[in-house]
A = this chain, B = another copy of it.
Amino acid sequence: MSIEFEQIRLEPAYRKVASALMARILDRTLRDGDRLPSETELARQFGVNRSTVREAVRELESSGLLARRPGSKLLVVTRPAAVHVAEGVSRALMLHDVTYQDVWEALTILEPPIAETAAGRRTETDLGEITRAATEFAANNAETARAAFHAAQFLRTVGAATHNRILMLGHEPLLQLLEPSLRAMIDKVPQARSRITTAQRRISEAIQARDSEGARTWMARHIRDFRKGYEIAGIDLTRRLAE
Point out residues on A near B: beta carbons under 8 Å: 14, 25-26, 28, 32, 51, 54-56, 58-65, 79-80, 82, 85, 88-89, 91-98, 102-103, 105-106, 109-110, 113-114, 117, 164-167, 169-170, 173-174, 177, 242
In the complex, chain B residues whose CB is within 8 Å of the CB of A117: 105, 109
For the complex, what is the distance from the CA of A154 to the CA of B121, rounded to whole Å? Answer: 31
B89 with A64: CB separation less than 8 A = no
Report B-chain residues with C-beta under 8 Å of the C-beta of A91.
26, 63, 65, 80
- B96 and A88 within 8 A (CB): no
How far apart are A150's CB and chain B's nearest CB, in angstroms?
A: 22
Are B166 and A174 in contact, CB atoms less than 8 angstroms apart? yes
* A106-B63 in contact (CB<8A): no
What are the 3 closest A-B residue pairs judged by CB atoms, nearest first? Answer: A80-B92, A62-B62, A106-B166
Residues on B with beta carbons closer than 8 Å to the beta carbon of A103: 166
Is chain A's interface secondary structure helix, strand, loop, or mixed overall? helix
The reply to whether A93 and B63 form a contact with Cβ atoms under 8 Å apart is: no
Residue of B nearest to A9 (CB): B70
The reply to whether B79 and A95 form a contact with Cβ atoms under 8 Å apart is yes
CA distance A109 to B112 in the complex (A): 10
Contact A26 B95 (CB under 8 A): yes
Which residue of chain B lies nearest to A163 when distances are taken between CB atoms in the complex?
Answer: B102
Q: Is the beta-carbon distance between A169 and B93 smaller than 8 angstroms?
A: yes
Contact residues in B for A89 (Cβ distance below 8 Å): 85, 89, 169
Please give, as numbers and ranges, the residues of chain B lying within 8 Å of A97 by CB-CB distance. Answer: 165
The verdict on A109 contacting B102 (CB below 8 Å), with A80-B92, A95-B79 known, is: no
Q: Is A102 touching B164 in the complex (CB atoms < 8 A)?
A: yes
A93-B177 Cα distance, complex, nearest whole Å: 21
Given contacts A55-B54, A58-B62, contact A79 B92 (CB under 8 A): yes
* Cα separation A92 to B242 with both chains bound (whole Å): 26
